Amino acid sequence: MPDLRFTEHALSDWMRSGGDHSEIVVSSRVRIARNIQHQPFPLIASAEQAESVREILTPVLGGTPSDYGVFQALRLDELEDLDKRVLVEKHLISPNLAKESRGGAVLINEDESVSIMINEEDHLRIQCLFPGFQVRDAWKRATAIDDLFEASVDYAFDDRRGFLTSCPTNVGTGLRASVMMHLPALVMTQQINRILLAVNQVGLTVRGIYGEGSESVGNLFQISNQITLGQSEEEIIDNLHEVALQIIEHERNARQRLIQDSSSALRITDRIMRSFGILSYAAVMDLKESSQRLSDVRLGVDLGILKSPSIAVLNELNVKTQPGFLQKTFGDEMHPTELDMYRAKLLRETLGTTH
């Protein structure tokens, strides 16, 4: 039986601390893609070949103590679909790995700050998550874990192109670094499109909370590099770091403008209070509305308009209100109306006791 403790709680231990600029930057993530030399890439590998890769990579960290804790190995073919969905909602695996689990596995450490996907789009995807704005620290940890694997296997590498990957957009460094940012003031002041256009012009891209192909919800935007070839890892990290600092400054200025004018401040306060009240007493709540109203409450806490709930509680609710986690908590096979009812119930029980 697989160890399912990772799907039984919503708040990963790494999310409990704030990190730098945590009022705007929710988290920092670094992901490294690697493949084993002379092994077919997962997209074309047979079941036997994928199994062989899993057997090669899992023992490197699985079940043995390391500087980053003990890693638990989970085979995707041993997990129920609902447990896979919860792991996606917690950002411990990708939607692609959850769907294509031939030879798939994930290694997760105790505080869930590191998850290592095996046989996703590439043989190996090392992901490190830090709270707040700590993208450089996430990079240091990811590259240290990368060194552990490189000491055990030979990577697919070309002297001219760098590390070889299934998708050409990852060739080179194989590095994707990102920051998850909460930007409600830039959205409210209608500056967000201009900011995001500028981001695209400096080699970065904007995705939703679950990466490529997902949409932004709750005013959360994932800013990441889109260039992996022709730049060093350090240049990629430095570029993201500097651009993110500029976005942080723009968001702070927009928040100040919202509360400096008395009439604007009153409207923002009213919006925040209404969202808190609706979350605390609604009988039905769909995911889109829940995400938006939780965004309003988070802004209220950051601005000092609300003294509670804590940011940790809001981070937890962002996971607990997702469809997979709701079904894990209250029962399988819910239709949409049931999901909306139980989401509202969870929000009432959590927020109705904080005031």
Annotated binding site for ATP: 27-31, 91, 125, 176-180, 207-212
CA distances from 78 to 4, 84, 98, 187, 199 (A): 11, 10, 12, 42, 41
SS3 292: helix
Residue 68: CB atoms within 10 A of its CB come to 17
Give the distance from CA 56 to its chain's centroid.
27
Q: Among 195, 281, 278, 284, which residue's Cα sits nearest to residue 295?
A: 278
Ramachandran angles phi, psi of 335, nearest 5°: -85, 165
Task: State the Cα–Cα distance between residues 288 and 293, nearest whole angstrom.
Answer: 9
Query: Residues forming the annotated binding site?
Result: 27-31, 91, 125, 176-180, 207-212
Task: State the Cα–Cα distance between residues 56 and 232, nearest whole angstrom.
Answer: 28
Helix (H) or strand (E) holding 75: strand 72-75
What is the full DSSP assignment across 171-197?
Answer: TBT-EEEEEEEE-HHHHHTT-HHHHHH
Helix (H) or strand (E) holding 279: helix 262-281
> Can you give the length of the chain in residues?
355
CA distances from 318 to 150, 208, 295, 350 (A): 36, 14, 9, 12
Task: State the Cα–Cα distance between residues 291 and 301, nearest whole angstrom.
Answer: 15
